[in-house]
A and B are shown apart, each in its own frame.
Chain A
Amino acid sequence: MTELDLIPVWISLKTAATATIITFCLGIAAARWMAGSSFRGKSIIDALFILPLVLPPTVVGFGLLLLFGRNGPIGQVLMQFDRNVIFSWSATVIASTVVAFPLMYQATLAALEQIQPNIEDAARTLGASEWVVFHKITIPLAWPGIAAGTILAFARSLGEFGATLMLAGNIPGKTQTIPLAIYFAVEAGHNSQAVYWVLAILMISLASIAALNYWKKRQYSGNGSKFTGWEEVPSHAGHKN
Chain B
Amino acid sequence: MLDIKIKKSLPEFRLDVSFSVEHEILAIVGPSGCGKTMTLKCIAGLFPPDEGLIALNKKVLFDSRTGINLASRQREVGFVFQNYALFPHMNVFDNVAFGIHQLNQFGNKVIRERVSNLMHKMHLGKYEKRYPGQLSGGQQQRVAIARALVTEPQVLLLDEPFSALDSIVKESLQDELLDLQKYFAGHVILVTHNLAEAYKLSSRIAVYDAGRILQWDDKKAIIDQPANAGVARLTGVKNLFNGVIEEAGSTYTLINIAELRGLFRAESKSSVKFIKGQQVGVGIRSDHIKLTEESGKNTVPVQVKKIVDEISGNTYHFSAVAANGLETKLEAKIPHRQMEKINIGASCYLHLPPNNLVIMSR
Contact = CB atoms under 8 A, between A and B. Distances in A.
A33 to B, nearest CB: 20
A124 B103 contact: no
A125 B88 contact: no
Which of A121, A141, A220 gathers most chain B CB within 10 Å? A121
Interface stretch (A66-74, A96-104, A127-135, A208-216): A127-135
Interface stretch (A162-170, A199-207, A223-231): A223-231
Contacts of B89: 140-141, 220, 227, 229
Contacts of B73: 124-129
Contacts, number: 80
Contacts of B102: 126-129, 132
Interface string A107-131: 0000000001011011111111100
B356 interface: no
Interface string B38-81: 00010011100000000000000000000000011101011101
B180 interface: no
A59 to B, nearest CB: 41
Main secondary structure of the interface of A (DSSP, over half): helix
Contacts of A126: 73, 78, 98-99, 102, 147-148, 151
Main secondary structure of the interface of B (DSSP, over half): mixed
A79 interface: no
A190 B38 CA distance: 70
A26 interface: no
B159 to A, nearest CB: 9
A137 interface: yes
B315 to A, nearest CB: 37
B46 A227 contact: no
A116 B83 contact: yes
Contacts of B91: 225
Contacts of B133: 227-229
B148 A125 contact: yes
23 contacts: A119-B85, A119-B88, A121-B46, A121-B79, A121-B81, A121-B85, A124-B45, A124-B46, A125-B45, A125-B148, A126-B147, A127-B73, A127-B99, A127-B102, A127-B103, A129-B73, A129-B102, A132-B102, A220-B89, A225-B131, A227-B131, A228-B133, A229-B131
